[in-house]
Homo-oligomer: A and B are copies of this chain.
């Protein structure tokens, strides 16, 4: 009595037609006669038939799966991006398989192999590193891969990013505009392209204001709250060398810097201004609300999947002559963690 699952053959037998007709009734209804279509329809409901997707995919040589490589699902930063991608993908009939790479190149390679083994039709990279198997792709037929979130230097794949350099420039210019001249920067981990671009923007802004670069004012964090606390303690401990403003490469680190500042009894923004990056939901609810660069993460995800679907839609030869990356605009959100430079 073990409920065997119905196959297309069961439907065919039940409807008194061939399996080919059943298949056609489902996928090319216009080519099959009204009456048979109905017979098939009733047979389907009678048997409770659901097409075996794997068999179909084998035949069609596709998987209906889009592979999404993220460095860490646990990081809420990616949540909204995922959400945007998932929405677009499911509208187009694709499923999104999320691969958590933990920044491990081996895991990245494992997942990238899914493309070859037909487990995925396409891939979106959120982790800013190109799996080795893609690195030496022929230039005239790029694989169906889109890079999002972090640009990969020297990589011709379609890319969607924000202009980190410019966004950081604007955030730091906001501080120089407020009269600050001793401005520290808490960056991301070294090697990270985000880190590099945001440091560049920071330095450009200071230079534009005629401020000499002081390497001791750059603290290397890792985007986490804890590293922000460490940065704050390191930068704000000595009243003699203390900057009057700190720009951070993430909101989490900005929060950490503020926590450390409060430990020293410093008031934000009267004694020290702090700006963050990303505009996570908690930035607005913090005390004080944090001035930050809003990064439209959902939009970024949507753009990425749009780019990919375009790519998949137009089957055929694909030139890697890239039209340049798609740039999602950012916005400086001024809240109360930044204010005029205190007069000494």
Contact = CB atoms under 8 A, between A and B. Distances in A.
**How many copies of this chain sit in the oligomeric assembly?**
2
A51 B74 CA distance: 31
Interface stretch (A95-103, A166-174, A190-198): A95-103
B50 A58 contact: no
B119 A281 contact: no
Given A51-B117, A54-B119, 20 more contacts: A5-B116, A53-B114, A53-B119, A54-B118, A73-B79, A74-B82, A75-B79, A82-B98, A86-B98, A87-B100, A90-B100, A95-B119, A96-B98, A255-B282, A255-B285, A259-B285, A259-B287, A286-B286, A286-B287, A287-B287
Contacts of A76: 76, 79
A282 B57 CA distance: 44
A82 B86 contact: no
A63 interface: yes
A76 B119 CA distance: 27
Q: How large is the interface on A (under 10, 10 to 19, 20 to 34, 35 or more residues)?
A: 35 or more
A116 B48 CA distance: 10
A89 B90 CA distance: 23
Which of A76, A256, A259 has the most B CB atoms < 10 Å from its CB?
Answer: A76
Contact of A74 (B83, B118, B262): B83
Contacts of A78: 79
A73 B82 contact: yes
24 contacts: A5-B116, A50-B116, A50-B117, A52-B117, A53-B114, A54-B58, A54-B63, A54-B119, A58-B58, A72-B83, A73-B86, A74-B83, A75-B79, A76-B76, A78-B79, A86-B98, A95-B97, A96-B98, A97-B97, A225-B281, A225-B284, A225-B285, A256-B285, A259-B285
